[in-house]
């Protein structure tokens, strides 16, 4: 069975600074996809970034990037130049199994 573990229930970051959210996973699949989703307070879940496991290159989407370490089964999300709108719950997923989430606060 797949498992996804997020060990940081809460994180905070100063506006314009960089923060990294951690995620580890376990899967028996050889080819798979990993995701980070964002759920703002009382708002819809949206995709942040997607990584294909067979690609060694880390995915990037504007200020969001991942550090994908396949051997270590680690998939962390880095948010650069944090903005107030980044405040949300962030879920790591593989792809139908979700971690417990990390609540990110952005301090002005």
Partner 1 sequence: SAVISQKPSRDICQRGTSLTIQCQVDSQVTMMFWYRQQPGQSLTLIATANQGSEATYESGFVIDKFPISRPNLTFSTLTVSNMSPEDSSIYLCSVEGRPQETQYFGPGTRLLVL
Interface pick for partner 1 out of 27, 67, 97, 105 (rule CB under 8 A): 97
Q: How many residues does the chain have?
A: 108
CA 73: distance to chain centroid?
13
CA 75: distance to chain centroid?
7
User: How far apart are the C-alpha atoms of 46 and 43, rounded to whole Å?
Assistant: 9
User: How far apart are the C-alpha atoms of 9 and 32, rounded to whole Å?
Assistant: 25
Bridge-based pairing of strands 46-52 and 102-107 is unpaired
54 lies in the site for partner 1, by CB under 8 A: no
Interface pick for partner 1 out of 16, 47, 84, 107 (rule CB under 8 A): 47
Residue 30 or 44 with smaller CB distance to partner 1:
44
Cβ at position 21, least distance to partner 1 in Å: 14
Cβ at position 98, least distance to partner 1 in Å: 4
Instruction: Please report, as ranges, the residues that interact with partner 1 according to CB under 8 A.
Output: 33, 35, 37, 43-47, 50, 91, 93, 95-101
């Amino acid at each position: 069975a797949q498992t996804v573990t997020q060990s940081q229930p809460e994180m905070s970051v100063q506006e314009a600074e960089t923060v990294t959210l951690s995620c580890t996973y376990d899967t028996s699949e050889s080819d798979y996809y990993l995701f980070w989703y964002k759920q703002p307070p009382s708002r819809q879940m949206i995709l942040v970034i997607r990584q294909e496991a067979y690609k060694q290159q880390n995915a990037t989407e504007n200020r969001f990037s991942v550090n994908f370490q396949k051997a270590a089964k680690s998939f962390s999300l880095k948010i650069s130049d944090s903005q107030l709108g980044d405040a949300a719950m962030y879920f790591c997923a593989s792809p139908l199994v979700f971690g417990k989430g990390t609540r990110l606060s952005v301090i002005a």
